[in-house]
Structure 1
Amino acid sequence: MSELDPEPSIDPSTPRRVRAFAGTTVFMPCIVNNLGQRSVSWVRHHDIHVLTVGRFTFTSDGRFEAHHDDGSNEWLLRLRSPAISDSGIYECQINTKPTITHLTTLHVLEPHAVVTAGRELFLDTGSTLRLTCRVRDAPAPAEHLLWYHEKKETRKGTEEVEVSVWEEKHSTISSLTLRDAQVHDSGLYTCSPSNAKPASIMVHVLSGEQSAAMQTSAASRCVLCRASRTPTHVYPTPLPCLLLLLASFLLGGRLPMFVLFLLPVVTLGVFMQLAS
């Protein structure tokens, strides 16, 4: 290259971020000006693996391929069927001294469903069960979205069950409504879109006795919170709370002797009351 020849450069319009959907084909461009006799390479950054040099591909992973059209200043790295694990930094290099480089971050999105209520839901017998499912990171709306209860399709149109599907901001949303839920309606509910990974939630429909037992269990905890940013400590009642009270009095030297004799009796009485 003579002194009059312009130096190669990577055009500022070359993107620094590329987004792709899993299972599609993605092109990462490197736009080079005044390449001359130099060559362009693509390197995967996390393992410094040379993927392509010029038009040649140097990897056993057949999903990667160099692509360049005659007369074009674009040197493309093509990746078929990208996965989330392919996300990361890819480096375009021109073999000058020093090497001219450009970093492109690839972000691979995998379409997936999300049940907004979380992974587990508790409700009382006779309540109305409402579940909402949203499809995220999908290139197009789902053609259909089905609900399953314990692997059996939940069909809409009955008196108790309603299923609605609509689109919102290029996302598919579905709701399942089950009126007068009973114990036999408990189980695993799955939202299964046609174009995304499914999502599931475990639903527990509690009878009156089960609901009362859960409330009693929650109420029978002794919660000691300090007025600071330290974590909250939870101790089951009654014995740990009484022992903690005993220790605090012993350390302060203010515990009357008769309390030492009454404390085991009180503790035993509380346990017998809870067991009854």
Structure 2
Amino acid sequence: MSRRAPGRGLAIGVIQIITIICQVLTEDPRFAEPIPNVTVALGRDASLPCVVEHLGTYKVAWIHIDRQMILTIHRHVITRLARFSVSHDNAMTWLLHVSQVQQEDRGYYMCQVNTNPMISQVGYLQVVVPPNILDSDSTQSAVAVRENQNTSLVCRADGFPAPKIMWRREDGQPISVDRRKKVTVYEGEQLSLQRISRTEMGAYLCIATNAVPPSVSKRIIVDVEFSPMIWVPNQLVGAPAGTDVTVDCHTEAHPRAISYWVYDNVMVLPTKKYAINTEENSYRAHMKLTVRNLQGADFGNYRCISKNSLGETEGSIRLYEIPMPSTSPKATEMKSNANKESARRANQTRAPTRSPGTERPSVLRAQLDRAPERDAQQVYRPPHLHSVSGGRQLRCWRQPFLVVILLVHMDLIV
């Protein structure tokens, strides 16, 4: 018995090993991991993996559940759609490839193993679509409306997920909503503009977005029509003859107006005499007329006229002559030497009469020294026999006195 024991144990071990191998070889297939949900943009390529363990001799098939269509069985493509294919990268993973994905490819895909009973698992292919504006269902690219009337702008778009519609003004100005509030961005397919004004004229952008790039937009031009208006900054303008002068008018009109100048019932045309310049900005225009080298015939009434299909208006400017200022003579400083001359003459006549022991010359000198001050202050003094304010009066007093002295002296000699 002891001799048979080792052989029997070896046999049992071999049998156990064979049993385990058989169990492994005959184990049923199972899925190692679930099929992930895949999201792909329209027109791109996508792949769905199916990982199967212990496949053995069983086969894997792919089925599009939504269309109830068998796509592949094992390594063979069953569908006639060339965009579908299958690959087997290793012993466990089977990949379903979809090239240039279309919207109809969206849905549930089943990976199936033909066991008994059948086993399967399902994954979802999501196809997202960038937004697309439907021009046929949206407002045309240009709209014209009369001022103070109502209008609505419509913008519709498709895509997946459903896109959101936003409105903006191209110039960045706010949008008036129900005339009560203003917003920078308005959401919704329809934008209503109540009692529209000329300030709301311009381009409106309809923007469609759904988080799938790229976003798209449509540009709608809103024209607000109104008859011309004119504003004259200065209705009365003056200028001297021989100079140049410029008069101007501001106009507003839509559709675009025809603007021109009229003087003496004649249209003013650009010449050497007249220079005409018009600066336009949207529905506004600034008209300027320059008249060169003004002459008498150039003064009068000038009219700026603006007209379009809805009406006509005009402004009037009166151009008058300003006299040229007369040239005033230059003021010259006149310095009079009368005081200096009188003082000089007084000094000359004072020397011969000066005698020792008398104070009269000192008194005369003081009076003469003050004479210029009196002249400067324009003080009037009546004539006096004993006045010594001037050299002429002093000489007149001295001459008879000398004659008397001479006659007395001659009598004494005789």
TM-score range, shorter chain: 0.3 to 0.5
The structure, 1 or 2, with the larger RCO (C-alpha pairs under 8 Å, 6+ apart) is 1
In the superposition, the TM-score normalised over structure 1's length comes to 0.48
In the superposition, the TM-score normalised over structure 2's length comes to 0.33
